[in-house]
Structure 1
Amino acid sequence: MENKKLNEMIITMRRQLHKIPEVGTELPQTKKYVVDKLKSLGLEIKECSLDSGMVCDIGNVNSGNIVAIRADMDALPIAEETGVEYASKNGNMHACGHDAHTACLLGAAYYLLENKDRLKNGAVRLVFQTAEEISKGANNLIKDGLLDGVSAIVGTHVGNIDSGMSNSEFIIQEGGLMASNDKFIIKVVGKGSHGAYPHSGFDPILTASQIVQAIYNIKSREIIATNPVVISICVISGGSQYNIIPSEVNIEGTFRTFSEENRKFIGSRIKEISEYIAMANRLKAEVTIEWGCPPVINDKKIADELTQVCKELGFKKLPQFIPSMGGEDFAEYQQKIPGVFIFFSTMTEKNIPHHNSKFEIDESQLYQPTILMSEWAIKHLENK
């Protein structure tokens, strides 16, 4: 199939998926769309029993030699404001490019079937997962055994990755690419009182402010400065009247790192700091750590293979990329299987970031990640 024809096919599928964005783990319309496309190609599908995810294999499935290509399918609860003719009207939006990821993986199904005679040594597993945005989809597929037998995995993320990138440029590199993504929730419980008589209560607002300052000190005073760490408190809520001290305040935030040691340390310290500062002020802090996903750490051998394929195909690659503090549950696969996560720049002149109601992508080169990942899979299996 010519690149132009493949790209047109991917664009058509991407726009059809863009119209039906769904969030979370249950994606009935999206699942039906993908299943129908795969079945029309004569492919056998294995569905996840825990959500709307699925996988299918192309090639010599009896070889015991399997590599995987992954795409996420979920959207975001954002009302779209792009004004394009294929815009979503259901209150959700593909504002992170997952519609393109899914379309590119469906494109890979067509490409791999055309090259099936080159897959005598093994099979390629196409992995369609849900709930990347809430870090649940990858684990669901793993728990359901749908990654069993896979020896290597790759995936690509499109969009406005870095302002220093040119359009249609890949980021392929070994080591840390994206940070861990964990959440903390702190409920500071005190005793409300009138603002004129603070001595008659236990002030959770004052205590919450002390907790916030102390948590920010973890990075600056307890972790070596050369270790990348981000701690951000993004929600503080409490109170309803200007002259009434409330009985409780809620704090929510996130912490990101490339070190599992730092990850556990920060979670532990947030809990200790919050509880002891609250205790010192005669209040109580209830701390919940919601562990998200670990950091994305790319395998050197697979990164080298992808770089070589990228060069052979004549595609552009950024020489070096400063790792992102954003998170990705592709990391869950990498806990079990050697893998590489790739970035592909599809920024437009508007340069709109992900998770924005006006997010858009340049569709003109979407065939490139499809072919890069497919050719990597074929060559990796040929060399096994």
Structure 2
Amino acid sequence: MTIMTSIKKQVEETFEYLHQHPEISWEEVETTKYIKRILEENGCEATTFEDCTGVVGKFGNFEKGLPVVAVRADMDALWQEVDGKFQPNHSCGHDAHMAMVLGVLWKLKEQPELEDQVAVKLIFQPAEEKGAGALKMIEKGVIDDVDYLFGIHLRPGQETELGRATPVIVHGATKMIVGEIKGHDAHGARPHQNTNSIEVGAQIVNMIRQIHLDPRVPHSVKMTQFQAGGKNVNIIPGNATFSLDLRAQNNQLMEELTRRVEEILTSLQSLYHTQIEITQTHGIVAAENHQQAVEIMQQSIADVLGEEQVDEPLLTPGGDDFHYYSVNKPSLKATMVGLGCDLGPGLHHPAMTFNPEALISGVDILHRAIINAYQLKQKNQ
């Protein structure tokens, strides 16, 4: 068995194990143990944390003052309905991302001459689906010494085809707003005695649909959850909970979109003489990628797949907390490669599948990006 065949087999087997053992955000306990064991078995210094899941491996020489190149994989599965049952499910490709980053380690290990010439961090980050895991890793100081940061994400077939890859995913900003409409119930025969929270919810839907911002920049806002009333149909509910999903392609437009939504909620309070309270707000910043990192990744894809297989930057309304790293450390040279893999029916679909042959391409691209980053550094010295 050749070295490459061996690594390919290891990556595919690791993916299958992780796919069969999904764990949701902040509960990636067994996943953390599994990856930590592999890191240590391969000679890495592995760091875990007392108050959260996640693990960071260090490969190479961190004493020579070399630039530190990090590769990040997200760990968490989604909690979603699969065949009529809610369960953890890897329908976003995080199991594949972890397997590919471990593949990078195995490939580095097959080149013992590199161990004294590189300083590589392998970051396995929890809770990407909550938009909070990257912030926790930043809090832990994981990127304090990092100069280059590379990520990877499987892409749907309509975005990037099998055998191709894009050197940068230009994610948009996302924000989730959870709110409550507070009032009291009334008898169905006496609608004048309360404010119907369902009617308030309907007005929220109608008014957010009338928000018009710069049409040149993709954006959207929609209601994704609404709960009101109980088992009795002759009660007019005065209380309700709702959730709004906001998307904007850049951080500036997200600020404006958020302001407009908040103005709508405030105006409806006055119109309906009821209380509307925002109880939760969380989100993810838009991508702020570094041009040098993008160029390194572009060359790396060309080296592995061929120049004709390099796609243009991918603009997508989806989000990823990967971008908190570069927003919180502007000097960080970061980008996320989008890997074509014949993924369908779509990300977050409970029956999502992809072509596992793409896994080794992802390994090779990330490995090449590490090598190219060091070669560029040497060239510029």
Please say if residues 118 and 378 of structure 1, whose CA atoms lie closer than 8 Å, have aligned partners that are also in contact: no
What corresponds to 1:60 in structure 2?
61
Percent of aligned pairs with the same amino acid? 25
What corresponds to 1:363 in structure 2?
356
Q: Which amino acid aligns with 2:251?
A: E
The answer as to 2:121 corresponding to 1:125 is yes
**Which of 179, 190, 193 in structure 1 is aligned with 2:172?**
179
Once the two structures are TM-superposed, the CA of residue 291 in structure 1 deviates from its matched residue by 2.4
Please say if residues 182 and 289 of structure 1, whose CA atoms lie closer than 8 Å, have aligned partners that are also in contact: no
Q: Which amino acid aligns with 2:371?
A: I
Pairing 1:138-177 to 2, within 5 Å after superposition: 138-159=134-155, 161-163=156-158, 165-173=160-168, 177=170
Q: Which amino acid aligns with 1:133?
A: E
The answer as to 2:373 corresponding to 1:380 is yes
- Rounded to whole Å, the distance in 2 between the matches of 1:274 and 1:164 is 36
**Which of 213, 217, 221 in structure 2 is aligned with 1:227?**
217
The answer as to 2:111 corresponding to 1:135 is no
Once the two structures are TM-superposed, the CA of residue 116 in structure 1 deviates from its matched residue by 4.3
- Rounded to whole Å, the distance in 1 between the matches of 2:184 and 2:87 is 40
Once the two structures are TM-superposed, the CA of residue 23 in structure 1 deviates from its matched residue by 0.8
Aligned with 2:177: secondary structure?
strand
What corresponds to 1:265 in structure 2?
256
Aligned with 1:297: secondary structure?
coil
Please say if residues 296 and 341 of structure 1, whose CA atoms lie closer than 8 Å, have aligned partners that are also in contact: no
Please say if residues 301 and 310 of structure 2, whose CA atoms lie closer than 8 Å, have aligned partners that are also in contact: no
Greater mean deviation of Cα atoms: 93-102 or 209-218: 209-218
What corresponds to 1:333 in structure 2?
325
- Rounded to whole Å, the distance in 2 between the matches of 1:227 and 1:77 is 31
Once the two structures are TM-superposed, the CA of residue 90 in structure 1 deviates from its matched residue by 10
- Rounded to whole Å, the distance in 2 between the matches of 1:375 and 1:321 is 19
CA offsets 1:204-262 (integer angstroms, 9 cap, x no match): 222222222222222x2xx2211211112111221234332111122211101122222
Pairing 1:269-280 to 2, within 5 Å after superposition: 269-280=260-271
Please say if residues 7 and 103 of structure 2, whose CA atoms lie closer than 8 Å, have aligned partners that are also in contact: yes
Once the two structures are TM-superposed, the CA of residue 15 in structure 1 deviates from its matched residue by 0.8
What corresponds to 2:228 in structure 1?
238
Once the two structures are TM-superposed, the CA of residue 264 in structure 1 deviates from its matched residue by 2.1
Q: Which amino acid aligns with 1:279?
A: S
Greater mean deviation of Cα atoms: 117-126 or 370-379: 117-126
- Rounded to whole Å, the distance in 1 between the matches of 2:334 and 2:262 is 33
Once the two structures are TM-superposed, the CA of residue 146 in structure 1 deviates from its matched residue by 1.5
Once the two structures are TM-superposed, the CA of residue 154 in structure 1 deviates from its matched residue by 0.7
- Rounded to whole Å, the distance in 1 between the matches of 2:278 and 2:86 is 35
**Which of 208, 215, 220 in structure 2 is aligned with 1:215?**
208
- Rounded to whole Å, the distance in 2 between the matches of 1:50 and 1:210 is 42
The answer as to 2:246 corresponding to 1:255 is yes
Relative to structure 1, the CA distance from residue 90 to residue 40 in structure 2 (aligned partners, 3 Å threshold; closer, same or farther) is farther
Relative to structure 1, the CA distance from residue 274 to residue 312 in structure 2 (aligned partners, 3 Å threshold; closer, same or farther) is same
What corresponds to 1:15 in structure 2?
16
- Rounded to whole Å, the distance in 2 between the matches of 1:121 and 1:13 is 27
- Rounded to whole Å, the distance in 1 between the matches of 2:292 and 2:356 is 30
Aligned with 1:247: secondary structure?
coil
The answer as to 2:302 corresponding to 1:300 is no
What corresponds to 2:186 in structure 1?
193
The answer as to 2:320 corresponding to 1:320 is no
- When normalised by structure 1's length, the TM-score is 0.89
- Rounded to whole Å, the distance in 1 between the matches of 2:115 and 2:14 is 25
Aligned with 2:78: secondary structure?
coil
Q: Which amino acid aligns with 1:41?
A: N
Unaligned 5+ segments in structure 2 are: none
Q: Which amino acid aligns with 1:127?
A: I
- Rounded to whole Å, the distance in 1 between the matches of 2:184 and 2:40 is 61
- Rounded to whole Å, the distance in 2 between the matches of 1:153 and 1:31 is 21
- When normalised by structure 2's length, the TM-score is 0.90
The answer as to 2:69 corresponding to 1:73 is no
- Rounded to whole Å, the distance in 2 between the matches of 1:228 and 1:93 is 29
Greater mean deviation of Cα atoms: 238-247 or 323-332: 238-247
CA offsets 1:169-208 (integer angstroms, 9 cap, x no match): 21224xx711112101221223322233211222222222
- Rounded to whole Å, the distance in 2 between the matches of 1:208 and 1:80 is 29
Query: How many residues of Structure 1 are paired with residues of Structure 2 in the alignment?
Result: 369
Once the two structures are TM-superposed, the CA of residue 22 in structure 1 deviates from its matched residue by 0.7
Unaligned 5+ segments in structure 1 are: 82-88
Once the two structures are TM-superposed, the CA of residue 327 in structure 1 deviates from its matched residue by 1.0
Relative to structure 1, the CA distance from residue 7 to residue 145 in structure 2 (aligned partners, 3 Å threshold; closer, same or farther) is same
Please say if residues 80 and 91 of structure 1, whose CA atoms lie closer than 8 Å, have aligned partners that are also in contact: yes
Aligned with 1:363: secondary structure?
coil
Please say if residues 50 and 140 of structure 1, whose CA atoms lie closer than 8 Å, have aligned partners that are also in contact: no
Please say if residues 167 and 301 of structure 2, whose CA atoms lie closer than 8 Å, have aligned partners that are also in contact: no
Q: What's the C-alpha RMSD, in Å, of the aligned pairs? A: 2.2
CA offsets 1:15-59 (integer angstroms, 9 cap, x no match): 111221111113221111111111111211122343121112222
- Rounded to whole Å, the distance in 2 between the matches of 1:232 and 1:79 is 21
Q: Which amino acid aligns with 1:74?
A: D
Runs of 4+ in 1 over 6 A off after TM superposition: none
- Rounded to whole Å, the distance in 2 between the matches of 1:224 and 1:289 is 27
